[in-house]
Amino acid sequence: MLTQNSLLRARKRAVLSVAALSMVLLTGCTQSISEGPAAQEAASVAVFSHVHGMSVDPDSGRILLATHEGLFDATADEPQKIGPTIDLMGFATAGKDEYYASGHPSAETGLPDPAGLIRSTDGGSTWEPLSLQGKSDFHALAVTGESVIGFDGTLRVTDDTVTWNTIDAGIQPYHLAGSPLSQVVLATTEQGVHRSEDGGKTWTLPQDAPVLLLTAFASKSVAVGVEPDGAVQLSRDAGRTWQKTGGVVTGQPAAIAATGDDGGQVRIWVATSTGISHSTDDGATFTEKTP
């Protein structure tokens, strides 16, 4: 069985090796928390690295990568920078261009380091501080219909984005996943994928829960996950039970996203150290997009 150290080493390998993506991007300096004209004029060629999170808009199909250098739209062959430079360690979407994040802002943003919980309501172009500025760096973050859950060495839950409650669940989450459509949260740990049905306040470990590195919700009931070795699993009961899909992604998994509905086919994206793997057949097979 993998230990917590094994999971942490897997994350470190993903963070360090994802630079091999070597995607060429247009980036620039930021004069404030929003991307200003001066930043656009000073744009220069750079390489992004350290993918920490991923999301795919089910309507537009836009692929978002939360990275060490900020947020990028990776839908096209040449990914585009969105908003200011913030090392987005934790990243979660709530739908309709509303994102939550945490991490380390560049000095130009004017935000304290660490950022605590921040929010964007314009698709990542600008960010506003909400709580725990200068105190918390959430490396795992999830959003449900009524709460935000974060792990900064301590598991915390907020229902109003300002006041946080400490949760003594006896787990050390490596990754958190939620959906704005429900109150279910998934936490990957060395014991397996734990579940919460009340927005992260209480937790259980289902029987035969697999050890997964990353998970994501495709819909209210459908979740996907990837093992440290790249094998993909699928759950159609919101993480109670899991089955291998038969698909395996190439490279060290760094982030995962999925779209679909409760009864239909699921599309899965996995950012790895070698590119972005994409499946349109419930994870049975994957094709890889490389720079």
pLDDT digits (tens, 9 = 90+) for 123-144: 999 999 999 999 999 999 999 9
Q: List, in order, residues 6 or more apart from 45 with CB less than 8 Å away.
A: 24, 25, 26
Residue 38 clears pLDDT 50, i.e. is over it: no
pLDDT 10s digits, 216-233: 999 999 999 999 999 999
56 pLDDT tier (thresholds 50, 70, 90):
very high
Residue 47 has a pLDDT of: 43
What predicted TM-score, i.e. pTM, was given to this entire model? 0.85
Residue 5: what pLDDT?
55
Give bridge partners of residue 35 from the DSSP assignment.
Answer: none
State how far the Cα of 201 lies from the Cα of 160, in Å rounded to an integer: 14
Name the residue type at position 169. A
Q: Which two tokens stand for residue 39?
A: 């930043």
Confidence of residue 291 (pLDDT cuts 50, 70, 90): low
Cα gap 159→199, rounded to integer Å: 9
Q: What is the mean pLDDT of the chain?
A: 86
- The DSSP symbol for 287 reads E
Position 25 pLDDT exceeds 60: no
pLDDT category at 193 given cuts 50, 70, 90 is: very high
| Per-residue tokens: 69 | 């250098």
Q: What is the mean pLDDT of residues 21-48?
A: 34
* H helix runs in 167-244, sequence order: none
Give bridge partners of residue 226 from the DSSP assignment.
Answer: 214, 232
What's the farthest any 2 CA atoms get from each other in the chain? 55
H or E element in which residue 10 lies: helix 4-17
Give, rounded to a whole angstrom, the gap between the first and last alpha carbons of the chain.
Answer: 34
Percentage of the chain with pLDDT > 90? 74
Mean pLDDT of 49-76: 90
Specify the pLDDT at position 34. Answer: 39
pLDDT of residue 32: 30
Q: Backbone phi, then psi, for 170, in 5-degree steps?
A: 70, 25
Strand order in the sheet with 80-82: 44-47, 24-27, 80-82, 70-73, 63-67, 51-56
